[in-house]
Chain A
Amino acid sequence: MLGYIIRRILAVIPVMTIVAVFVFLLLRLTPGDPAAIIAGDMATPAQLDRIRDSLGLNDPLYVQFITWVGNLLQGDLGTSIISNTSVTGMISERIWPTVNIALLTIIISVLLAVPMGVVAAWRHKSWIDYGVMSFSVLGFSIPVFVIGYIFIQIFSNELRWLPVQGYIPPSESIGGFLARAILPCLTLATIYVALIARMTRASMLEVLGEDYIRTARAKGVKEDIVLFRHALRNAAVPIMTIIGTGFALLIGGVVVTESVFNIPGIGRLTVDAILARDYPVIQGMILLTSGIYVLINLLIDLSYTFIDPRIRY
């Protein structure tokens, strides 16, 4: 087990290295010049060049890469070219809104989606099943920003139950946090619920056809216990997997949702940085999100051993 963990962690190294090189090269090939952003509309070419010089952008690529990696290994993601503040600082300030929203979304999604999927599989081909499937297909079919606008229109503009936008950290006010987080979370959750409910249903359908379910029924075990004690745990591995890989989807949704609901999270930070060619921030963010993705999937892999005793590494 320990050996497995070590091996898995070591396997992260080449993956993250490839990500780092890839991201670095990708960005440096992108047209766009942060110096032009800093200088504004009236700058002359000579001024631009002087600014580029002072930012180190005129150095050869490999020098820039070595500098960057060198700093990276010391935990320093560099300094934002545009705002002249430390990338680590920017990220650590803005990661919490995203993390909080994402966590709440995952919790809401799992609480909604898993029972939906279980019941749909249990009542295979009933109206409940069709209902759940329709919802989950629908959840995949509407762009997330449209869902967000519809929620705002209904709950904020028409009913006036919830604020339109913004973010308050839960440490400041739980109520304030929830009031502002509910709509973004529900918006994000639609696609996530769709995804998890689908997978739960499919996985449960398969498990419900297994012999041990028949055994449980032959023991006279009640249906709810059959579903949740016997079937769900066996169906859990693919569900966990989809929660993990769905994380990438969540990031995509977060980027959009943060714009719609004006949440100062890392999704917006990244998009802004890409549009402004703020290389250190983009690199840091992509590296970070990739790292989190890899980490989450590592944790999920490890969690399999708790779900399923047959899985030993």
Chain B
Amino acid sequence: MSVAPQPASRLQWVLGAIALPKRWRIGAGPIVAALVLAAIVIVTLLSPVISPHSPMAMDALERLKGPSETYPLGTDAYGRDVLSRVITGGRVSLFIGIGAAVVSVLIGLLIGLVSGFFRLADAIIMRIMDSLMAIPAILLAIALVALNGPSIWSVLFAITIPEIPRVVRLVRSVVLSAREEPYVEAAITLGSSMPKILWQHLMPNTLAPLIVQGTYICASAILTEAILSFLGAGVSTEIPTWGNIMAEGRVYFQLKPSLIFWPGLMLSLCILSINLLGDTARDMLDPRLKKREA
């Protein structure tokens, strides 16, 4: 024995970090959700290969047609293939969702850690965060898209910015309560430096709530993208997203509900799955709920 163990492997570290409960009790719901999500992700990733048409190819004579052999889900107002657009649109929607989650979580994590540990920075950062929180996210997002033009990046930016203060607050509160933990105080008495304590002891505490929060941000970002498109401040129609497909199709809601139905179905299924997985993760990771069931 006595091989001096190397720093635990990455995987082990992450698993340790989210403190998985000993018993996994997962119902059918989350498993179905995971499968649905996986299916959506695979289909959208493969969209260049499997879509029957180019999502941009227009046929002015085939506008607003019903399902046919050539166009399995019919065509939109530009005579483009709805099926191809829906599966291609998922890519951008998912990208925006995941991108917003990852970016806001990372930035929020950094700011939150700093804020949670340095009193002086905290006062200033939290005032700014309070201010950002006070501006209704959707208005801020529209204004930001108007500022940067309706590209994917600016929509991503516009959706991410309002999420950051929420993440910061979450991280900060976790840090503030984790600071009081005896093992952190022990680390102080062991002479560990502040950055080291911050990163090695405090940061891992934020991972579980951040994973949960990340799923919610992802879901709400996909939804916000759709709403921005609806308000005319979304990604340009050249790049299909579930949101702008629906926004373009919304005037045909009564005539051709399928224009909204299919992207809407994909979007709702996707968000539903993400939310369900988020809930499952929360139920498994939330120590308060665990206590109740113990």
Contact = CB atoms under 8 A, between A and B. Distances in A.
Chains A and B share a contact (CB less than 8 Å): yes
Contacts of B140: 286
A100 interface: no
B220 interface: yes
A259 B232 CA distance: 12
B147 interface: yes
Contacts of B130: 15, 294
Given A137-B279, A141-B272, A145-B227, A32 B260 contact: no
Interface string B127-155: 11011111111111011101101000000
B246 interface: yes
Nearest to B289: A205
A75 B280 CA distance: 49
A155 B21 CA distance: 47
Contact of B267 (A26, A143, A248, A289): A143
Contacts of B223: 140-141, 143
Contacts of B243: 143
Residue in B127, B243, B275 whose Cβ sees the most chain A Cβ within 10 Å = B275
Contacts of B139: 251-252, 255, 270, 274, 285-286, 289
A271 B231 contact: yes
Interface string A244-259: 0100110110011001
6 contacts: A16-B134, A143-B243, A205-B289, A248-B137, A255-B138, A274-B142
A233 B79 CA distance: 57
Contact of A140 (B137, B146, B220, B260): B220
Interface of B is mostly: helix
A23 B131 CA distance: 10
A275 B227 contact: no
Most central of B135, B250, B268, B276 by chain A CB within 10 Å: B135
Given A157-B254, A255-B138, A18 B230 contact: no
A142 B134 contact: no
Interface of A: 14-16, 18-19, 22-23, 26-27, 29-32, 133, 137-138, 140-146, 149, 153, 157, 202, 205-206, 208-209, 245, 248-249, 251-252, 255-256, 259, 270-271, 274-275, 277, 282, 285-286, 289-291, 293-294
Contacts of B253: 149, 153
Contacts of B10: none
B264 interface: yes
A140 B272 CA distance: 8
B291 interface: yes
B275 A137 contact: yes
Contacts of A275: 146, 232-233
A157 B47 CA distance: 37
Given A23-B135, A137-B272, A270-B139, A256 B254 contact: no
Nearest to B216: A140
B226 interface: yes
Contact of B146 (A32, A146, A153, A208): A32
Contacts of A252: 136-139, 224, 227
Contacts of B203: none
Given A138-B272, A142-B264, 8 more contacts: A23-B135, A140-B220, A141-B275, A143-B267, A205-B289, A274-B233, A275-B232, A286-B143
B164 interface: no
Contacts of A143: 223, 226-227, 230, 243, 246, 264, 267
Given A15-B130, A282-B143, A256 B279 contact: no
Contact of B131 (A22, A27, A206, A277): A22
Contacts of B202: none
Contacts of A138: 268, 272
B271 interface: yes
Contacts of A202: 289
B219 interface: yes
A135 B254 CA distance: 25
B21 to A, nearest CB: 16
A103 B204 CA distance: 41
B288 interface: yes
A252 B219 CA distance: 16
B268 to A, nearest CB: 5
A139 B149 CA distance: 30
Nearest to A20: B131
